[in-house]
Structure 1
Amino acid sequence: MTDYKKVLVAVDGSDESDKIITKALAIAGDSNAQLDVVMVFEPLLGSYSFELNMADFEKVQKEHQEQVASKMRAKLAAVSPSVPAQQVHFQRGKPATEIKKLCEELGSDLLVIGSHGHNPVRAVLGSTANAVLHGIHCDVLTIRV
């Protein structure tokens, strides 16, 4: 097996995130690699955007992100309290794009990602995992969830 130096694990906050993080921790531990965790928030769309002005919409978006980030931090602390806060990244944008960009910035040599996201529409239209594969510079391990 390849010795990895920097492992990035992408999660979506679903119940399956624990399984993905656990696998990434095992791989990082075997290689004595740095582990970073990323969660990407997609902009909220839909009925909110029609009922709120932009300032209110931005406030709703930030509150939602803070709530989800807080739950993710708690979940991560329960699974692995050894991952420092500066290695937990919360991004905003299109998941595949943001994951690839962070992977490049960190110099990650392995990306660990789940095979399915928590959005049922995405399962029909194509997954983030599949989109990440195109143009990424490092190895990708997809965990079946």
Structure 2
Amino acid sequence: MTIEPVYTISSKASGGGRDGEVVSASGQIDLDLRMPKEMGGSGEGTNPEELFSAGYAACFLGALRATSKQAGNPVPDESTVKVTVGIGKDPSDGGFGLTVGIEVYIPGVDEAKARELAEKAHEFCPYSKATRGNIDHKVTVVV
């Protein structure tokens, strides 16, 4: 598969990785990074999993809007997507791995239709495509 990007952005991490700083080329992101308390850090900054969950949630909501509109069922403006990213030990190699939980809320749409729209968005979303087969995903519909 060959992708021809219409937009690119880079970010640079410095310092200790999870205890450092990350700055995007646009300057819109300029954040201190700290290990979460749950992993022995101070928790006083953000972390890669928090940033990933934010990007994934925004991307998935965009995919939900695009696919539902294309199917002739545009979702209400009040629709939301919450992405929960988990990190933990990977027993297969002793390193770390990620999990992703995706909660989709589409007000005024019955659960079966909402589930169908969420699954279409999951197939379409670039973040879902990039992580499929590498991260356990669980997509749920919140009624």
Is the radius of gyration larger for structure 1 or structure 2? Answer: 2
Q: TM-score, normalised by structure 1?
A: 0.30
Q: TM-score, normalised by structure 2?
A: 0.30
Q: Identify the structure with the greater strand proportion.
A: 2
